[in-house]
Amino acid sequence: MPKWGMVIDLDKCVGCQACVVACKEENNVPHGSPEEQRTRREIFWHKMIAVTRGKYPHVRTELLPMPCMQCDHPPCVTVCPAKATFRREDGIIMQYYRRCIGCKYCMVACPYGARSFNYKTQEERPYHHQDEPPDRKSREPWPFPTRTQGVVEKCTFCFHRIDQGLKEGKKIGIEVVPACVEACPSQARTFGDLDDPQSPISKLLASRASFRLREELSTHPKVIYLSR
């Protein structure tokens, strides 16, 4: 069984946020209004975190792309009372929206802030296929899982692409990649099987420049960064 992971090269990342837009469009995440931004109710599956170093006038700001870390020891799975979030055999942390009760325990437990609460009603959310009612029973999990108001949402490495690619016999990481990887104009992202020693991502992982966010928490993220 493969273990899917992602390496993000911060030297190549230009902060264009094409990955953020691609994630929203691929997974049908609505774009928030200015009011939702002010009240912090906008939904993001993929974030760009601004990291500021130094003091004025010698200040440097860098952007850190942050999808779900897909931890090997995810605290969000442990605290969910409804068992709505779980870890698949291939390491992807999934969200089963039909079971989610919106208690937000997983949001509090996640040290990376990778989850968003859905405040949108069905009428407020855009859907790609308007000929089908956007309820919990429709089109799950392909082409993308639908969500209703009151559930917690998160990045799933575009699992619907991976599952469909495996059914069609395509090479995951080469022919099939998550939307954020495909959209990156600087090719700063590499996706593949971390357990395959011959895969490009495994070779990047062996680099001395590789690091994980908040390693001291022992969550063992499968999103790895290459330092500047």
When divided into structural domains, the chain yields a total of 1
Q: Can you give the CATH number for the domain in which 19 is found?
A: 3.30.70.20
Q: Between residues 38 and 133, which one has the greater pLDDT?
A: 38
- Coil/strand/helix, residue 23: helix
Average pLDDT, the chain: 86
* Banded model confidence at residue 53, pLDDT cuts 50, 70, 90: confident
Which residues, 6 or more positions from 38, have their beta carbon under 8 angstroms from its beta carbon?
none
Structural domain boundaries enclosing 9: 4-226
* Banded model confidence at residue 123, pLDDT cuts 50, 70, 90: low
- Asked, as a colleague might, if the bond just before 143 is cis with ω within 30 of 0, I would say yes
* Banded model confidence at residue 42, pLDDT cuts 50, 70, 90: confident
Please answer whether residues 87 and 93 qualify as being in contact, where contact means their C-beta atoms are separated by less than 8 angstroms.
yes
Asked whether the predicted pLDDT for residue 160 surpasses 60, the reply is yes
Q: Mind giving me the DSSP string for 173-195?
A: TTTB--HHHHH-TT--EEEEETT
The pLDDT score that the predictor gives to residue 207 is 86
H-helix or E-strand containing 159?
helix 159-167
The pLDDT > 70 percentage for the chain reads 89
| Mean pLDDT, range 131-155, rounded to an integer | 63
The pLDDT score that the predictor gives to residue 61 is 85
* Banded model confidence at residue 120, pLDDT cuts 50, 70, 90: confident
Rg (CA), the chain: 18
H-helix or E-strand containing 9?
strand 4-9
The pLDDT score that the predictor gives to residue 136 is 40
The pLDDT score that the predictor gives to residue 169 is 92
* Banded model confidence at residue 124, pLDDT cuts 50, 70, 90: low
| Tokens at 59, concatenated | 């200040």
The pLDDT score that the predictor gives to residue 131 is 40
| Mean pLDDT, range 155-170, rounded to an integer | 92
Please answer whether residues 90 and 69 qualify as being in contact, where contact means their C-beta atoms are separated by less than 8 angstroms.
no
Asked whether the predicted pLDDT for residue 79 surpasses 90, the reply is yes
CA distance 209 to 201: 13
| Tokens at 191, concatenated | 């996706």
CA distance 197 to 211: 18
pTM for the model stands at: 0.85
